[in-house]
């Protein structure tokens, strides 16, 4: 059974930093593509960052230079380091996974429809 569990988010002021973590279980984590997504009230879910099995990252333009995605395969954990946070980063953040049994995922994606497995989400609130 695939499980993705995000760490607690938080409330902080603009300019601050926060690191989110997502612990995965129930599949071969090292072969998977992983992504971070967010959804603000009244808006569609958007891809923030993704990383493939080779550790190649992809970022949304809105977070380039501020956010960094990484993975620790020994701990089955995905991270999102968020720096220089802005009020517009306020959203529910979700981690997501995609993989094929016995295959190596070498094409990460920022499309939510590409990911069948999702965590429960964690709230990040940035005040000005």
For residues 89-93, average pLDDT: 98
Partners of 67 in the beta sheet? 82
The DSSP call for residue 54 is: T
What is the reported pLDDT for 76?
Answer: 98
pLDDT above 90: residue 107:
no
Alpha-carbon span 12 to 93, nearest angstrom: 15
pLDDT above 90: residue 92:
yes
For residues 12-41, average pLDDT: 97
Nearest 5°: the CA angle 20, 21, 25 is 155
Please measure the distance between the N-terminal and C-terminal CA atoms of the chain and give it in whole angstroms: 40
């Amino acid at each position: 059974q695939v499980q993705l569990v995000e760490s607690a988010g938080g409330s902080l002021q603009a300019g601050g930093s926060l690191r989110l973590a997502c612990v995965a279980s129930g599949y071969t984590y090292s072969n998977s593509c992983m992504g971070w997504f967010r959804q603000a009230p009244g808006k569609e879910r958007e891809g923030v960052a993704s990383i493939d099995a080779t550790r190649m990252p992809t970022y949304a333009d809105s977070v380039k230079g501020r956010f960094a995605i990484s993975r620790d395969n020994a701990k089955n954990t995905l991270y999102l380091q968020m720096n220089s946070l802005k009020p517009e980063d306020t959203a529910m953040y979700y981690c997501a996974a995609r993989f094929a049994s016995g295959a190596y995922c070498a094409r990460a994606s920022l499309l939510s429809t590409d990911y069948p497995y999702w965590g429960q989400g964690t709230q990040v609130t940035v005040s000005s």
